[in-house]
Amino acid sequence: MTSKDSPLTVIILAAGLGKRMKSDLPKVLAPICGRPMVAWVIDEALALKPERILLVVGHGRERVEAALHEQGLLSSVELVMQAEQRGTGHAVQMCLPALKGVRGRIVILYGDMPLLRAETLRSLCALQRQSAPRGAAILTASPEDARGFGRVLRYGSGERQGQVEKVVEERDASPEIRAVREVNTGVYCFDAPGLLEALPRLATDNAQGEYYLTDCISLFQAAGRPVIPLETAELDEIIGVNNLKHLAEARWAVQMRILEQHLMNGVRIEDPATTYIDHGVTIGVGTKILPCTVIRGGVRIGTGCEVGPFTQLRPGTVLEDGAEIGNFTECKNARIGGHTKAKHLAYLGDVTIGAGANVGAGTIIANYDGVKKHKTTIHDGAFLGSGTVVVAPNTIGAKATTGAGAVVTRNANVGAGEVWIGVPARRLERRAAGAAADRAAGAKAAGASAAGASAAGAKAAVTKAAVTKAAVTKAAVAKAAGAQPRTRSSTTQPRPAANKLSLGGRQTAKTGRKR
């Protein structure tokens, strides 16, 4: 867009108070699909390849600055302070010191119009360049409901017929003018020297006592600089966010654009209406996204994965090719290896899981001890039985197995190929167990696996055998020791099993967590 003789400057107005949002957050930071509203506007501005982008901000400047920094956009813009909001014209006047001697064209945008596309702006700039190189082009529209907008008055005859004579704000308009349906979207492409000339001449003799940027139009015409309209039919593009209802509408429209993009890329989104995918998510070809799924910003998903229904993938999640994350499973800061499955009811936070692992229903990675978050690593081919709790920090070795309901206490560090069971989980040592117990467990396990329809097959059988064995042995141990049967009041929790199966160096595992 920028050329030597016609450099482009973009000014984004974003100092408005946004009182109707009923929030302390500067309006332009209201989130839309995982990023602040103004970031969407800056993206479109950047697509025009301008020399500079000036962003006019008011109160909450520090927060805007911090948010832009976080988005990696701070270096793309120059912030201009408008301490007091005295109108759109005043906001642009604040840029005058930064604009001394500027040539080419100046495009004006609003920070609260997140849906305007660069394509539309390109057409506006092209029109200005071709038909009014010393003048301006103004983006207009004719929405069903023109309330709140300035009305566009065109010359009806003469050599300027069809050009814009002026824009009249609703508060200043007569009933006849209010009946005009064509409105000012607030987006313009001005000849830069013309705008620099007009800005100091703005006055406040209007109903709101503000400096109206719209007055530049009549000033342009008076100076013999033509102002021509570009009427857009894309009414969704001109949604300006002034309240939470507008925000919800804008979010929906942005969301549909994001989903369309993924669909075009070959992502199988079964039900776009119930799928939430933020900005900046990458998804490989052929991956299925099932209904009621929420995927937050920055998540990366490989090819041939399946996500959902009812899944939440939070920031920091990476799914490698073929991974499957099913219903009521939440991932946060989780790297899930290729073809690993976590199909039901799990929380996987701050964890790296290798390839080909199976995460049983109801598995929880207890990553938070009340003060700090801790990391867990689960290696390739591990099998976590249903209802396993892994207290972080921890490691589960390759092809290790945990029994259903096992609580793997912090730093227990299950070794490769080991089987751990119980609460707190202990390593199961086949040799240590009595032959009788082994036989009993084996018989029971065989029965259980025949009766059960578990797809996990052999592994599930091992797990069940382990659990059964634990129970058998516990009884045997208690008997041998002549222990009194434990009595439990209804208010006490069952105590952890005094599991004698797994003594080898693993007894140091602690129960519970430190607060």
Please identify which of the residues 59, 246, 339, 344 carries the catalytic annotation: 344
Shortest spacing between CB 115 and Ca ion, in angstroms: 13
User: Which residues, numbered 230-249, are part of the site for Ca ion (CB under 5 A)?
Assistant: 240
Shortest spacing between CB 240 and Ca ion, in angstroms: 4
Q: Binding to Ca ion by residue 143, rule CB under 5 A?
A: no
Is 344 part of the annotated catalytic residue set?
Answer: yes
Interface stretch with ligand UD1, choices 209-217, 324-332, 364-372, 440-448 (CB under 6 A)? 209-217
Contact with ligand UD1 (CB under 6 A) among 212, 220, 347, 420: 212
Shortest spacing between CB 204 and Ca ion, in angstroms: 19
Shortest spacing between CB 243 and Ca ion, in angstroms: 10
User: Which is it for strands 324-336 and 306-307: parallel, antiparallel or unpaired?
Assistant: parallel
Q: Binding to ligand UD1 by residue 301, rule CB under 6 A?
A: no
Residue for token pair 């991932």:
331
Interface stretch with ligand UD1, choices 106-114, 244-252, 327-335, 389-397 (CB under 6 A)? 106-114
Residue type, 49: K
Contact with ligand UD1 (CB under 6 A) among 90, 251, 332, 506: 90
Taking CB within 5 to 8 Å according to partner kind, which of Ca ion, ligand UD1, none is near residue 91?
ligand UD1
Contact 95, 11 (CB under 8 A): yes
Contact with ligand UD1 (CB under 6 A) among 240, 297, 304, 356: 240
Q: Binding to ligand UD1 by residue 91, rule CB under 6 A?
A: yes
Per DSSP, which regions of 170-305 are E strands? 183-191, 227-231, 268-269, 275-277, 282-283, 288-289, 293-295, 300-301
Tokens for 461?
Answer: 């059988």
- Choose between 92 and 359: whose C-beta lies nearer to ligand UD1: 92
Contact with ligand UD1 (CB under 6 A) among 184, 293, 402, 409: 184
> Got the DSSP string for 444-466?
HHHHHHHHS--TTTHHHHHHHHH
How many Å apart are CA 240 and CA 250, to the nearest integer?
A: 8
Q: Binding to Ca ion by residue 316, rule CB under 5 A?
A: no
Rg (CA), the chain: 33
Kindly state the number of chain residues that form the binding site for ligand UD1, as judged by CB under 6 A.
27
Q: Which of 202, 208, 146, 213 is nearest to 177 (CA)?
A: 146
How many beta carbons lie within 10 A of that of residue 232, not counting itself? Answer: 19
43's enclosing H/E stretch is helix 37-47
Going by the DSSP 8-state scheme, the letter that residue 497 receives in this structure is: P
Shortest spacing between CB 82 and ligand UD1, in angstroms: 5
Q: CA-CA distances (angstroms) from residue 16 to 27, 65, 110, 237?
A: 8, 16, 10, 20
Kindly state the number of chain residues that form the binding site for Ca ion, as judged by CB under 5 A.
1
Where on the chain is the footprint of ligand UD1 (CB under 6 A)? 13-16, 56, 82, 85-88, 90-91, 110-112, 149-150, 167, 169, 183-186, 212-214, 240
Which residues have a catalytic role annotated? 344
